[in-house]
């Protein structure tokens, strides 16, 4: 039996609701599978933590995440940039992996979308270097060769590993020739090491449009931090919304898995948030932990529950609550043979 220590950051808004849901699902998985189990270490961060302790990211949280085998992060409100950005940068989680895939019974714009955004996660505009005076503001965009090469390598390795055929490098080098110019150059060099994978380049504004017109043509989208942020919400919009969009912040040896959605203050506390983005983030975590059988079982259980369509949350056109959706996934897991 492999025992994993999982740092759990519930955060604010719907965060604690979807965290509770995913913890139940992972417990059901471990009961059913027998080969894996989890010790959850709950950590404080976010608006609530700031109100209580004066710090959005209390000292110790980063260290505790570092000591864990992996981290599940639900959602943090107004203080997000004081929490998730220091975690990403402090642990050098340079990949933000954001799959966008259409699941059964999920209302979506177009069928057949199955793409993955590989977003650089430590550089670009997110270093937050800059300043402001009364009448001006400056945000410095930092791109390095090392940062660009390693994210490009991750994208091509992923394409090879997952049998994906094409990598699209998304940039704005026609205007941002210094930063995007360097990014594209690094991507081209890495592409040359992977002749088996088709490589193309696309300017970000054109990509934003083509994602709407022909999303099924995209496979691996490789891009810088801010472009990846924007395009991943757009991609979520194609596959049923943020309630269906998981992600992983991945580095060498550490990783934090979080739904792309935020705290959804409009529905917080009502128990109707879609737990699937959080559950699918846990599936990504299992894959990263190399618990492939467990990951596959969880994916299957989610597909079965969605296909059955009896416990969909309101964002998917149903009338079930967060807990009911998660309980259906747990029940399916309990019936699986491992």
Task: State the binding partner of 8 from Mn ion, ligand IPM, none, CB within 5 to 8 A by kind.
Answer: none
Interface with ligand IPM includes 12 (CB under 6 A)?
no
Tell whether residue 84 is a contact of ligand IPM (CB under 6 A): yes
Name 97's Cβ contacts closer than 8 Å, sequence gap at least 6: 116, 117, 118, 119, 158, 247, 248, 249, 250, 284
Give the interface size with ligand IPM as a residue count (CB under 6 A): 6
Piece in contact with Mn ion (CB under 5 A), picked from 172-180, 197-205, 221-229, 267-275: 221-229
Is 219 tagged catalytic?
Answer: no
Beta strands 70-75; 255-257: pairing state: parallel
Cα separation of 95 and 193, whole Å?
20
C-alpha atoms less than 13 angstroms from C-alpha of 112 in its C-beta half-sphere? 8
Residues 220-279 that bind ligand IPM (CB under 6 A): 229, 260
Backbone phi, then psi, for 138, in 5-degree steps? -130, 130
Query: 6 has which bridge partners?
Result: 40, 70
Instruction: Point out the catalytic residue in the list 69, 114, 219, 233.
Output: 233
Site string for Mn ion, 173-212 (x = CB under 5 A): ----------------------------------------
C-alpha distances (whole Å) from 257 to each of 22, 69, 96, 136, 278 are 12, 12, 9, 36, 8
How far apart CA 159 and CA 153 sit, in angstroms, is: 10
For residue 81, state whether it binds ligand IPM (rule: CB under 6 A). Answer: yes
Nearer to ligand IPM, 28 or 72 (CB): 72
Q: Is there binding between residue 229 and Mn ion (CB under 5 A)?
A: yes
Of the candidates 47, 50, 103, 229, the residue annotated as catalytic is 229
DSSP E strands, 43-189: 70-75, 95-101, 114-120, 130-133, 136-139, 166-171
Catalytic residue status for 205: yes
CA dihedral (281, 156, 122, 135) positive or negative: negative
233 is catalytic: yes
What is the rounded distance in angstroms from the CA atom of residue 249 to the CA atom of residue 247? Answer: 7
49: closest CA among 88, 5, 84?
84
Closer residue to Mn ion, CB minimum distance, 231 or 282: 231
Is-catalytic flag, 126? yes
For residue 138, CA distances in Å to 128, 133, 309 come to 9, 9, 49
What's the closest the beta carbon of residue 296 comes to Mn ion, in angstroms?
28
Q: Which does 118 bind (CB under 5 to 8 A by kind): Mn ion, ligand IPM, none?
A: none
Q: Which is nearer to ligand IPM, 43 or 256 (CB)?
A: 256
Per CB under 6 A, does 120 bind ligand IPM?
no
**Residue of minimal Cβ distance to ligand IPM:** 80
Annotated catalytic residues are 126, 172, 205, 229, 233
> Which stretches of the chain bind ligand IPM, using CB under 6 A?
80-81, 84-85, 229, 260
> Which stretches of the chain bind Mn ion, using CB under 5 A?
229
């Amino acid at each position: 039996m492999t025992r994993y220590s999982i740092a759990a950051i519930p955060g604010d808004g719907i965060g604690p609701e979807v965290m509770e849901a995913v913890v139940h699902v992972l417990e059901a998985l471990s009961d059913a599978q027998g080969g894996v189990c989890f010790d959850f270490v709950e950590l404080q961060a976010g608006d609530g933590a700031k109100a209580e302790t004066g710090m959005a990211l209390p000292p110790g949280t980063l260290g505790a995440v570092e000591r864990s085998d992996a981290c599940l992060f639900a959602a943090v409100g107004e203080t997000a940039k004081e929490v998730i950005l220091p975690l990403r940068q402090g642990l050098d989680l340079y990949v933000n992996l954001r799959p966008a895939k259409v699941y059964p019974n999920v209302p979506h714009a177009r069928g057949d979308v199955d793409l993955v955004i590989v977003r650089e996660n430590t550089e670009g505009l997110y270093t937050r270097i800059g300043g402001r005076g009364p009448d001006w503001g400056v945000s410095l965009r930092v791109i390095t060769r090392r940062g660009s090469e390693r994210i490009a390598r991750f994208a091509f390795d992923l394409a090879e590993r997952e049998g994906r055929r094409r990598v699209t490098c998304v940039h704005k080098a026609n205007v941002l020739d210094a930063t995007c110019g360097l990014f594209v150059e690094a991507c081209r060099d890495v592409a040359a090491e992977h002749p088996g994978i088709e490589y193309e380049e696309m300017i970000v504004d054109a990509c934003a449009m083509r994602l709407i017109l022909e999303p099924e043509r995209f496979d691996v989208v490789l891009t810088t931090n801010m472009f990846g942020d924007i395009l991943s919400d757009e991609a979520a919009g194609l596959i049923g919304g943020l309630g269906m969009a998981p992600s992983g912040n991945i580095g060498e040896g550490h990783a934090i898995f979080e739904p792309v959605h935020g705290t959804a203050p409009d529905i917080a506390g009502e128990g109707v948030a879609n737990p699937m983005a959080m559950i699918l983030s846990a599936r990504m975590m299992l894959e990263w932990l190399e618990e492939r059988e467990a990951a596959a079982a969880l994916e299957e259980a989610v597909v079965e529950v969605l296909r059955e369509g009896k416990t969909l949350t309101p964002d998917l056109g149903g009338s079930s609550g967060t807990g009911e959706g998660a309980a259906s996934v747990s029940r399916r897991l309990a019936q699986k043979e491992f």
